[in-house]
Protein backbone atom coordinates (compact mmCIF):
# COMPACT_ATOMS: atom_id res chain seq x y z
CA UNK A 1 0.00 0.00 0.00
CA UNK A 2 1.25 3.56 -0.78
CA UNK A 3 3.03 5.26 2.13
CA UNK A 4 2.01 8.92 2.26
CA UNK A 5 5.08 10.92 3.31
CA UNK A 6 3.09 14.18 3.52
CA UNK A 7 0.79 12.67 6.16
CA UNK A 8 3.75 11.48 8.25
CA UNK A 9 5.48 14.87 7.99
CA UNK A 10 2.34 16.59 9.27
CA UNK A 11 2.13 14.27 12.26
CA UNK A 12 5.84 14.54 13.13
CA UNK A 13 5.74 18.34 12.93
CA UNK A 14 2.82 18.41 15.37
CA UNK A 15 4.52 16.22 17.99
CA UNK A 16 6.13 18.15 20.84
CA UNK A 17 9.81 18.88 20.36
CA UNK A 18 10.61 17.28 23.70
CA UNK A 19 9.28 13.88 22.61
CA UNK A 20 11.20 13.98 19.29
CA UNK A 21 14.46 15.00 20.96
CA UNK A 22 14.18 12.20 23.50
CA UNK A 23 13.62 9.63 20.76
CA UNK A 24 16.59 10.90 18.71
CA UNK A 25 19.07 10.88 21.59
CA UNK A 26 18.17 7.40 22.87
CA UNK A 27 17.71 4.20 20.94
CA UNK A 28 14.71 3.30 23.11
CA UNK A 29 11.79 5.71 23.51
CA UNK A 30 10.01 5.50 26.87
CA UNK A 31 6.25 6.07 26.94
CA UNK A 32 3.47 5.96 29.52
CA UNK A 33 0.22 4.56 28.08
CA UNK A 34 -3.37 5.18 29.18
CA UNK A 35 -6.23 3.54 27.27
CA UNK A 36 -9.91 4.38 27.69
CA UNK A 37 -12.15 1.89 25.93
CA UNK A 38 -14.83 -0.70 26.58
CA UNK A 39 -13.51 -4.17 27.34
CA UNK A 40 -14.60 -5.74 24.04
CA UNK A 41 -12.94 -3.01 21.92
CA UNK A 42 -9.26 -2.88 22.87
CA UNK A 43 -6.96 -2.79 25.91
CA UNK A 44 -3.53 -1.47 26.91
CA UNK A 45 -1.97 -4.90 26.30
CA UNK A 46 -3.53 -5.09 22.82
CA UNK A 47 -2.31 -1.61 21.88
CA UNK A 48 1.22 -2.30 23.22
CA UNK A 49 1.36 -5.50 21.13
CA UNK A 50 0.32 -3.60 17.98
CA UNK A 51 3.05 -0.99 18.56
CA UNK A 52 5.64 -3.72 19.27
CA UNK A 53 4.77 -5.43 15.98
CA UNK A 54 5.92 -2.27 14.20
CA UNK A 55 8.97 -1.24 16.22
CA UNK A 56 10.97 -2.72 19.13
CA UNK A 57 12.37 0.69 20.06
CA UNK A 58 9.42 1.91 22.16
CA UNK A 59 9.28 0.81 25.80
CA UNK A 60 6.10 1.28 27.84
CA UNK A 61 6.73 2.14 31.49
CA UNK A 62 4.85 3.56 34.46
CA UNK A 63 6.99 6.67 34.85
CA UNK A 64 5.77 10.25 35.03
CA UNK A 65 8.88 11.47 33.17
CA UNK A 66 8.08 9.32 30.11
CA UNK A 67 6.16 10.63 27.10
CA UNK A 68 2.44 10.47 27.90
CA UNK A 69 0.11 8.65 25.50
CA UNK A 70 -3.67 8.80 26.04
CA UNK A 71 -5.83 6.78 23.65
CA UNK A 72 -9.63 6.96 23.85
CA UNK A 73 -11.95 4.71 21.82
CA UNK A 74 -15.70 5.42 21.71
CA UNK A 75 -18.07 2.99 19.99
CA UNK A 76 -20.99 4.78 18.31
CA UNK A 77 -24.49 3.23 18.16
CA UNK A 78 -24.03 2.87 14.40
CA UNK A 79 -21.01 0.61 14.96
CA UNK A 80 -18.29 3.06 13.96
CA UNK A 81 -15.43 3.83 16.32
CA UNK A 82 -14.32 7.36 17.19
CA UNK A 83 -10.70 7.46 18.37
CA UNK A 84 -8.65 10.20 19.99
CA UNK A 85 -4.87 10.14 20.51
CA UNK A 86 -3.17 12.65 22.85
CA UNK A 87 0.64 12.86 23.16
CA UNK A 88 2.11 14.78 26.11
CA UNK A 89 5.79 15.73 26.23
CA UNK A 90 7.14 16.68 29.68
CA UNK A 91 3.55 16.73 30.92
CA UNK A 92 2.77 20.08 29.25
CA UNK A 93 2.99 20.26 25.46
CA UNK A 94 0.50 18.01 23.71
CA UNK A 95 -0.70 16.91 20.30
CA UNK A 96 -4.23 15.64 19.68
CA UNK A 97 -5.55 13.63 16.74
CA UNK A 98 -9.15 12.47 16.27
CA UNK A 99 -10.50 10.20 13.55
CA UNK A 100 -13.32 7.74 12.84
CA UNK A 101 -12.91 4.13 11.65
CA UNK A 102 -15.20 1.22 10.92
CA UNK A 103 -14.02 -1.05 13.74
CA UNK A 104 -12.00 -1.16 16.96
CA UNK A 105 -9.25 -3.15 15.22
CA UNK A 106 -8.80 -0.45 12.57
CA UNK A 107 -8.76 2.28 15.22
CA UNK A 108 -6.17 0.41 17.33
CA UNK A 109 -3.97 -0.16 14.27
CA UNK A 110 -4.18 3.54 13.38
CA UNK A 111 -3.21 4.63 16.91
CA UNK A 112 -0.31 2.12 16.99
CA UNK A 113 0.95 3.48 13.65
CA UNK A 114 0.77 7.09 14.88
CA UNK A 115 2.69 6.20 18.07
CA UNK A 116 5.42 4.43 16.07
CA UNK A 117 5.79 7.40 13.70
CA UNK A 118 5.81 9.97 16.51
CA UNK A 119 8.26 8.26 18.89
CA UNK A 120 10.64 6.31 16.62
CA UNK A 121 12.34 8.45 13.94
CA UNK A 122 14.56 5.46 13.06
CA UNK A 123 11.46 3.46 12.13
CA UNK A 124 10.25 6.35 9.97
CA UNK A 125 13.56 6.54 8.08
CA UNK A 126 13.64 2.76 7.56
CA UNK A 127 10.08 2.47 6.27
CA UNK A 128 9.74 5.84 4.59
CA UNK A 129 12.60 5.37 2.09
CA UNK A 130 10.53 3.02 -0.05
CA UNK A 131 7.96 5.76 -0.60
CA UNK A 132 10.37 8.64 -1.12
CA UNK A 133 12.23 7.22 -4.14
CA UNK A 134 10.24 9.56 -6.39
CA UNK A 135 7.83 12.30 -5.30
CA UNK A 136 4.24 11.58 -6.18
CA UNK A 137 4.87 7.92 -7.15
CA UNK A 138 4.29 4.65 -5.34
CA UNK A 139 7.03 2.16 -4.47
CA UNK A 140 6.49 -1.56 -4.18
CA UNK A 141 8.90 -4.43 -3.40
CA UNK A 142 11.05 -5.46 -6.36
CA UNK A 143 10.22 -2.40 -8.47
CA UNK A 144 11.69 1.10 -8.66
CA UNK A 145 10.10 3.82 -10.77
CA UNK A 146 13.44 5.65 -10.98
CA UNK A 147 15.46 2.70 -12.39
CA UNK A 148 14.93 0.17 -15.11
CA UNK A 149 16.03 -3.46 -15.08
CA UNK A 150 16.66 -3.24 -18.86
CA UNK A 151 20.37 -2.81 -19.72
CA UNK A 152 21.18 0.72 -20.89
CA UNK A 153 23.60 1.58 -23.67
CA UNK A 154 26.05 4.43 -23.27
CA UNK A 155 28.53 5.94 -25.68
CA UNK A 156 32.16 4.91 -25.28
CA UNK A 157 35.07 7.23 -26.01
CA UNK A 158 35.52 5.41 -29.34
CA UNK A 159 31.96 6.14 -30.36
CA UNK A 160 30.77 2.54 -29.97
CA UNK A 161 28.04 1.27 -27.76
CA UNK A 162 28.76 -0.59 -24.52
CA UNK A 163 26.22 -2.60 -22.56
CA UNK A 164 25.76 -1.42 -18.96
CA UNK A 165 24.80 -4.09 -16.41
CA UNK A 166 21.28 -3.81 -15.05
CA UNK A 167 20.81 -1.71 -11.96
CA UNK A 168 20.19 -3.79 -8.89
CA UNK A 169 17.02 -2.79 -7.13
CA UNK A 170 17.05 -3.19 -3.35
CA UNK A 171 13.85 -4.66 -2.05
CA UNK A 172 12.12 -2.74 0.71
CA UNK A 173 9.52 -4.16 3.09
CA UNK A 174 5.98 -3.07 2.42
CA UNK A 175 5.15 -0.19 4.78
CA UNK A 176 2.16 -0.35 7.13
CA UNK A 177 -1.21 0.80 5.75
CA UNK A 178 -1.79 4.47 5.35
CA UNK A 179 -4.10 6.09 7.90
CA UNK A 180 -5.72 9.36 6.81
CA UNK A 181 -5.56 12.11 9.39
CA UNK A 182 -8.15 14.87 9.75
CA UNK A 183 -7.06 18.38 8.93
CA UNK A 184 -5.93 20.51 11.84
CA UNK A 185 -8.26 23.27 12.87
CA UNK A 186 -7.91 26.33 15.04
CA UNK A 187 -9.51 24.49 17.99
CA UNK A 188 -6.88 21.71 17.70
CA UNK A 189 -3.99 24.05 18.43
CA UNK A 190 -1.57 22.99 21.17
CA UNK A 191 -1.54 26.57 22.43
CA UNK A 192 -5.16 26.35 23.69
CA UNK A 193 -5.57 22.98 25.51
CA UNK A 194 -8.14 24.41 27.94
CA UNK A 195 -10.60 25.07 25.10
CA UNK A 196 -10.84 21.42 24.06
CA UNK A 197 -13.36 19.03 25.55
CA UNK A 198 -15.83 16.31 24.77
CA UNK A 199 -19.50 17.28 25.22
CA UNK A 200 -21.48 15.25 27.75
CA UNK A 201 -25.26 14.85 27.66
CA UNK A 202 -26.95 12.24 29.86
CA UNK A 203 -30.34 11.38 31.34
CA UNK A 204 -30.90 9.19 34.41
CA UNK A 205 -33.76 7.58 36.34
CA UNK A 206 -33.00 7.13 40.03
CA UNK A 207 -34.31 6.21 43.43
CA UNK A 208 -34.38 9.29 45.68
CA UNK A 209 -34.32 9.88 49.46
CA UNK A 210 -34.61 13.15 51.41
CA UNK A 211 -33.80 13.81 55.08
CA UNK A 212 -34.69 16.86 57.17
CA UNK A 213 -38.08 18.28 56.21
CA UNK A 214 -40.06 15.36 57.76
CA UNK A 215 -39.59 13.43 61.03
CA UNK A 216 -38.25 10.45 59.02
CA UNK A 217 -36.52 9.88 55.72
CA UNK A 218 -38.80 10.26 52.67
CA UNK A 219 -38.11 7.84 49.77
CA UNK A 220 -39.24 8.35 46.18
CA UNK A 221 -38.18 8.63 42.52
CA UNK A 222 -36.22 11.21 40.53
CA UNK A 223 -35.06 12.04 37.02
CA UNK A 224 -31.86 13.91 36.23
CA UNK A 225 -30.30 15.47 33.13
CA UNK A 226 -26.62 16.41 32.77
CA UNK A 227 -25.13 18.79 30.19
CA UNK A 228 -21.45 19.68 30.28
CA UNK A 229 -17.91 19.22 29.00
CA UNK A 230 -15.42 16.45 29.79
CA UNK A 231 -11.89 17.88 29.65
CA UNK A 232 -8.42 16.63 30.50
CA UNK A 233 -8.12 19.47 33.02
CA UNK A 234 -9.72 19.84 36.45
CA UNK A 235 -11.96 22.65 35.16
CA UNK A 236 -14.84 20.87 33.39
CA UNK A 237 -18.14 22.79 33.74
CA UNK A 238 -21.53 21.05 33.79
CA UNK A 239 -25.16 21.71 34.73
CA UNK A 240 -27.35 19.08 36.43
CA UNK A 241 -31.15 19.49 36.50
CA UNK A 242 -33.28 17.20 38.65
CA UNK A 243 -36.93 16.69 39.57
CA UNK A 244 -38.22 14.28 42.21
CA UNK A 245 -41.22 13.21 44.27
CA UNK A 246 -40.74 11.73 47.75
CA UNK A 247 -43.25 10.91 50.47
CA UNK A 248 -43.80 9.30 53.89
CA UNK A 249 -47.22 8.29 55.26
CA UNK A 250 -48.73 7.18 58.57
CA UNK A 251 -46.03 8.44 60.89
CA UNK A 252 -47.30 7.85 64.42
CA UNK A 253 -46.82 11.04 66.44
CA UNK A 254 -48.20 12.22 69.83
CA UNK A 255 -51.80 13.27 69.13
CA UNK A 256 -52.29 11.57 65.75
CA UNK A 257 -50.71 10.31 62.52
CA UNK A 258 -48.78 12.52 60.09
CA UNK A 259 -48.05 12.23 56.36
CA UNK A 260 -45.49 14.22 54.34
CA UNK A 261 -44.78 14.57 50.62
CA UNK A 262 -42.32 16.72 48.72
CA UNK A 263 -42.32 17.73 45.05
CA UNK A 264 -39.11 19.56 44.28
CA UNK A 265 -36.52 20.42 41.68
CA UNK A 266 -32.76 20.84 42.02
CA UNK A 267 -30.13 22.75 40.07
CA UNK A 268 -26.42 21.90 40.37
CA UNK A 269 -23.67 24.06 38.87
CA UNK A 270 -20.55 21.91 38.63
CA UNK A 271 -17.09 23.33 37.96
CA UNK A 272 -14.57 20.63 38.95
CA UNK A 273 -14.21 17.10 37.56
CA UNK A 274 -11.88 14.23 38.42
CA UNK A 275 -11.77 10.93 36.47
CA UNK A 276 -10.31 7.74 37.95
CA UNK A 277 -10.49 4.78 35.57
CA UNK A 278 -14.18 4.52 34.60
CA UNK A 279 -15.47 6.74 37.44
CA UNK A 280 -16.24 10.46 37.02
CA UNK A 281 -16.63 12.69 40.07
CA UNK A 282 -17.89 16.30 39.95
CA UNK A 283 -18.12 18.94 42.69
CA UNK A 284 -21.12 21.27 42.44
CA UNK A 285 -22.97 24.12 44.09
CA UNK A 286 -26.62 23.10 44.59
CA UNK A 287 -30.03 24.70 45.10
CA UNK A 288 -33.23 22.79 45.98
CA UNK A 289 -36.72 24.35 45.79
CA UNK A 290 -40.03 22.54 46.25
CA UNK A 291 -43.48 22.23 47.80
CA UNK A 292 -43.73 20.32 51.07
CA UNK A 293 -47.21 19.05 51.98
CA UNK A 294 -48.10 17.77 55.45
CA UNK A 295 -51.35 16.23 56.66
CA UNK A 296 -52.71 14.95 59.98
CA UNK A 297 -55.13 12.12 60.70
CA UNK A 298 -56.43 10.12 63.66
CA UNK A 299 -56.87 13.40 65.53
CA UNK A 300 -59.74 15.56 66.71
CA UNK A 301 -59.07 18.18 64.00
CA UNK A 302 -57.59 16.62 60.83
CA UNK A 303 -55.91 19.18 58.62
CA UNK A 304 -53.33 19.55 55.88
CA UNK A 305 -50.87 22.33 54.97
CA UNK A 306 -48.44 23.07 52.13
CA UNK A 307 -45.28 25.10 52.54
CA UNK A 308 -42.39 26.28 50.37
CA UNK A 309 -39.16 24.39 51.02
CA UNK A 310 -35.81 25.81 49.89
CA UNK A 311 -32.22 24.84 50.63
CA UNK A 312 -28.81 25.92 49.27
CA UNK A 313 -25.47 24.15 49.61
CA UNK A 314 -23.29 21.71 47.70
CA UNK A 315 -23.52 18.36 45.92
CA UNK A 316 -21.34 15.63 44.52
CA UNK A 317 -22.16 13.79 41.28
CA UNK A 318 -20.61 10.39 40.47
CA UNK A 319 -21.00 8.38 37.25
CA UNK A 320 -19.62 4.94 36.36
CA UNK A 321 -19.22 4.06 32.67
CA UNK A 322 -20.49 0.53 32.03
CA UNK A 323 -19.58 0.58 28.35
CA UNK A 324 -21.46 1.65 25.24
CA UNK A 325 -24.00 4.27 26.40
CA UNK A 326 -25.06 2.88 29.81
CA UNK A 327 -23.93 4.58 33.02
CA UNK A 328 -24.66 4.28 36.74
CA UNK A 329 -25.17 7.65 38.41
CA UNK A 330 -25.17 8.65 42.07
CA UNK A 331 -25.73 12.05 43.64
CA UNK A 332 -25.59 13.32 47.22
CA UNK A 333 -26.26 16.89 48.26
CA UNK A 334 -26.83 18.85 51.43
CA UNK A 335 -27.71 22.46 52.10
CA UNK A 336 -28.89 24.92 54.69
CA UNK A 337 -32.69 24.90 55.06
CA UNK A 338 -33.76 28.47 54.29
CA UNK A 339 -37.17 28.13 55.95
CA UNK A 340 -37.80 25.89 58.99
CA UNK A 341 -41.45 25.09 59.67
CA UNK A 342 -42.81 23.42 62.82
CA UNK A 343 -45.67 20.84 62.89
CA UNK A 344 -47.95 20.16 65.84
CA UNK A 345 -51.02 18.25 67.06
CA UNK A 346 -53.21 20.14 69.57
CA UNK A 347 -50.53 22.73 70.38
CA UNK A 348 -47.90 19.98 70.80
CA UNK A 349 -44.99 20.43 68.36
CA UNK A 350 -43.88 17.00 67.21
CA UNK A 351 -41.40 18.08 64.49
CA UNK A 352 -39.43 21.11 63.35
CA UNK A 353 -37.71 21.02 59.97
CA UNK A 354 -34.02 20.21 60.33
CA UNK A 355 -31.41 22.93 59.95
CA UNK A 356 -30.01 21.01 56.96
CA UNK A 357 -31.83 19.29 54.10
CA UNK A 358 -30.00 16.29 52.62
CA UNK A 359 -30.87 14.38 49.46
CA UNK A 360 -29.32 11.28 47.90
CA UNK A 361 -30.06 9.28 44.76
CA UNK A 362 -28.69 6.36 42.79
CA UNK A 363 -29.87 5.16 39.39
CA UNK A 364 -29.05 4.19 35.85
CA UNK A 365 -29.19 6.16 32.62
CA UNK A 366 -27.93 6.77 29.11
CA UNK A 367 -25.07 8.95 27.95
CA UNK A 368 -26.33 10.44 24.70
CA UNK A 369 -22.99 12.11 23.86
- CA–CA gap between residue 345 and residue 253 (Å, rounded): 8
Quick check: 290 and 302 in contact, CB under 8 A?
no
Give the pLDDT mean for 107-120: 88
Quick check: 180 and 347 in contact, CB under 8 A?
no
51 φ/ψ angles, rounded to the nearest 5 degrees: -70, -45
Helix (H) / strand (E) element for 326: namely: strand 326-337
Q: What is the pLDDT of residues 216-275, one digit of tens each?
A: 999 999 999 999 998 888 999 999 999 999 999 889 888 889 999 999 999 999 999 999
Answer with the residue of higher pLDDT: 253 or 129.
253
- CA–CA gap between residue 275 and residue 321 (Å, rounded): 11
Whole-number Cα distances in Å, 132 to 6, 119, 135, 353: 10, 20, 6, 79
pTM of the complete model: 0.49
Quick check: 348 and 368 in contact, CB under 8 A?
no
pLDDT of residue 122: 77
Does the CA dihedral 320-112-20-98 come out positive or negative? negative
How much is the mean pLDDT over the chain?
A: 78
Q: What is the pLDDT of residues 334-359, one digit of tens each?
A: 999 998 998 888 778 889 999 999 99
Whole-number Cα distances in Å, 89 to 50, 95, 189, 196: 22, 9, 15, 18
Selected from 2.40.110.10, 1.25.40.10, 3.20.20.70, 2.40.160.20, the CATH number assigned to the domain covering 197-367 reads 2.40.160.20
Domain edges within the chain: 5-129+177-193, 197-367
Amino acid sequence: MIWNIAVLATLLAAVGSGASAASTQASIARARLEVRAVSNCTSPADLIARVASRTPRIQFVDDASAVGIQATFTVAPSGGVSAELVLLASGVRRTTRRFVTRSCAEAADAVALMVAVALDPVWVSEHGSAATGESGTSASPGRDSGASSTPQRTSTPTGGLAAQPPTKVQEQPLPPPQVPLPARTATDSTSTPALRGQPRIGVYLAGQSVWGPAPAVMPGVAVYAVVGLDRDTLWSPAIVLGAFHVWRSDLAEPGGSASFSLDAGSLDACALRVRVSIVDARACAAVLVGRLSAGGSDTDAPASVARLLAAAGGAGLFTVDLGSMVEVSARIGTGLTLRRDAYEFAATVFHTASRFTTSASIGVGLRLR
